[in-house]
Amino acid sequence: MTTDSNGSTPLKGNGPISRWIDRLAGFDFFISYAHADLPGYADALQRQLHARGFKAFLDKQVYVPGDELNAATRRRIEASSKLIVLVGPAASDSYWVRQEIETALRLQRPVIAIDLLGDLSDREGNPLGQLLRDRIHIREPDGIRSVQPSDATLNALARSFQATRRDSLRLRLAFAGALFFALLAGVALWQKQLADARYLAHKALCDDVVARVAEGRRKIEDLRIGVFGELIAEVTTTLAQLPDPETDLKCEPDRG
């Protein structure tokens, strides 16, 4: 399993949200090197870049021949603004270093070669020579004898990053803005769904009340025009034929 240089386990997942998070919390540099080529130099390079305010990822993974390029390593390269490759004797023949370089190129990440061999551009037969042609080369003055990066190398790395660091910051802000608006859109959609559910529940209740009232009116109308209606009409006629108790009926005895 691939770990960060501080030993932490990388996040899992490779969906759009994971990639956004990687870009927001990504690295300035990904350091690619062969473990047989000055591992102490790679450690010192990471520490000194950190001291200058840069975030650098140093891959501690020991690859086994036949394995695929680790998915977590691909994610780290994608989350980095630039790839630094330490070109020493072992790196020149390393399948995995070449894979990391090709991954960075596919992702359109700038590749910077720190030449520990003397002059990479003039070394015929170097497997990395063609791949790194026209890429930025920084020649380490002490070459393969170096135990840590020189000030000249660190200054060159810092200069190479001045413009792209601003672009990276703008890109990260754009990702943050897009993520914020995506969250707002999600909340708005959730609120709309709640409102729609409340509306549908209210409409269903209202429709039920209207249906019940209509049914009651229909039953009353059926009673009015049915047998019960005829009985009411007959009673009304009979009542009309009865004498008026106020005028036709007298309770006083006749005195004549």
Between helix 39-51 and helix 151-225 the angle, nearest 10°, is 70
Answer yes or no: are the C-beta atoms of 72 and 1 closer than 8 Å. Answer: yes
> CA-to-CA distance for 7 and 95, rounded, in angstroms?
24
Report whether pLDDT(4) > 50: no
Q: What proportion of the chain, given as a percentage, has pLDDT over 90?
A: 17
- What are the counts of helices (DSSP H) followed by strands (DSSP E) for the chain? 8, 5
Question: For 185-214, what is each residue's pLDDT tens digit?
Answer: 888 888 888 888 888 888 888 787 777 777
> CA-to-CA distance for 216 and 133, rounded, in angstroms?
89
Answer yes or no: are the C-beta atoms of 84 and 30 closer than 8 Å. Answer: yes
For residue 69, what pLDDT is reported? 56
Model confidence, pTM: 0.54
Highest mean pLDDT among 4-8, 33-37, 149-153, 185-189: 149-153
The residue-averaged pLDDT of 223-244 equals 69
Report whether pLDDT(251) > 80: no
> CA-to-CA distance for 202 and 135, rounded, in angstroms?
67
The residue-averaged pLDDT of 173-196 equals 83
Question: For 146-159, what is each residue's pLDDT tens digit?
Answer: 889 999 999 999 88
Answer yes or no: are the C-beta atoms of 10 and 76 closer than 8 Å. Answer: yes
> CA-to-CA distance for 6 and 21, rounded, in angstroms?
19
Report whether pLDDT(8) > 50: no
Residue 236 amino acid letter: T
Residue 166 amino acid letter: R
Please report which confidence band the pLDDT of residue 104 belongs to, taking 50, 70 and 90 as the band edges.
very high
Which backbone phi and psi does 147 adopt, to 5 degrees?
A: -105, -15
Ordered structural domains, the chain, with CATH = 16-180 (3.40.50.10140)
Please report which confidence band the pLDDT of residue 29 belongs to, taking 50, 70 and 90 as the band edges.
very high
Q: How far is CA 146 from the centre of its chain?
A: 42
Q: What proportion of the chain, given as a percentage, has pLDDT over 70?
A: 68
Please report which confidence band the pLDDT of residue 74 belongs to, taking 50, 70 and 90 as the band edges.
confident
